[in-house]
Amino acid sequence: MKVFAYGIRDDEKPALEDWEKHNPEVTVGYTQELLTPETAKLAEGSDSAVVYQQLDYTKETLAALAAVGVTNLSLRNVGTDNIDFEAAKELGFNVSNVPVYSPNAIAEHSMIQLSRLLRRTKPMDAKVAKHDLRWAPTIGREMRMQTVGVIGTGNIGRKAINILKGFGAKVIAFDKFPNKELQEEGLYVDSLDELFAQADAISLYVPGVPENHHLINKDSIAKMKDGVVLVNVSRGNLVDVDAVIEGLNSGKVSDFAMDVYENEVGLFNEDWSGKEFPDPKIADLISRENVLVTPHIAFYTTKAVDEMVHQSFDAAVSFAKGETPSIAVKF
């Protein structure tokens, strides 16, 4: 049996080597290149392909992979919104993702960033770096004094809620598919508008499906409290960045943390040292002392990477054996 993997990063290699050690009967090939119509031929002779979500898996890409005899596709990530499922169905593909690799990693990052915004660590760190050890005017706010709105209460959202409870914050939540335990606790509000009106800070944990596109936009921001804090570590397309910049300029939005960006492919996970960003919005946001930008690293922990590699390769083997892994995507 042979599995071929695309987009393997150096930090994934220890996990991959560990998986190979425990699966000596499987031949593994890989490349650092992403899956494209041109690189699909690298998987020829393989039973399954393992990929990481960055580029769209279009009909052209899937057809190129099918042409070399590979119709088992295992993603090392959660999101599947970049797959042309109509084409996948037409071409007879099996698809899996890794829906739960470490919800703690992402929840922790979001709450760390919220805490940093409230305690104004970015301007304070800048002062200390210049040997300015005066307190004022960099005064912070306490988490326990905030009403924090959590949009999306899946695995990650629930972990974030537990962290917020530890801080003593008041939590309100909204989800179209409520969690029974949270419902019994009385954490849910009846509508997004209600959450917008009550929350001092809002953090997002929903998928980037079309119905959630630009969930945070000019109209929704207008419904929020003055000086609202926004955090997005989920999907870039959930936020209309132009609307957020407008909110930051007016003061309607006091602070913003983003780990994902709608146009991040080709921008994030690249070294721009000494070079100009191709996107002036990112340069603008990074320059602001009330904005924290991280380049899609909320997931980026040793535990999460290990799970993403192991679960995706296990699924690839299951597909090759004609089995249906528990993490197969139904479409």
Give me the domain span that covers residue 234: 104-293
Q: Which residues are catalytic?
A: 235, 264, 296
Q: Are residues 242 and 139 in the same domain?
A: yes
Residue 314: predicted pLDDT: 98
Q: What are phi and psi of 74, to 5 degrees?
A: -115, 120
Q: Are residues 85 and 127 in the same domain?
A: no
- Total domains in the chain come to 2
pLDDT tens digits, 151-183: 999 999 999 999 999 999 999 999 999 999 999
Q: Are residues 262 and 310 in the same domain?
A: no
Residue 29: predicted pLDDT: 98
Helical ranges in the chain per DSSP H: 13-22, 59-67, 85-90, 103-118, 121-129, 155-167, 180-185, 192-198, 218-222, 241-250, 280-287, 302-320
Contact 232, 257 (CB under 8 A): yes
Residue 219: predicted pLDDT: 98
H or E segment and range at residue 5: strand 2-5
- Is residue 330 assigned to a domain? no
Q: Are residues 215 and 280 in the same domain?
A: yes
Residue 259: predicted pLDDT: 98
- Is residue 329 assigned to a domain? no
Give the residues of the chain that fall short of pLDDT 50: none
pTM: 0.88
Measure the CA–CA gap between 43 and 319, rounded to whole angstroms. 15
CATH of the domain at 229: 3.40.50.720
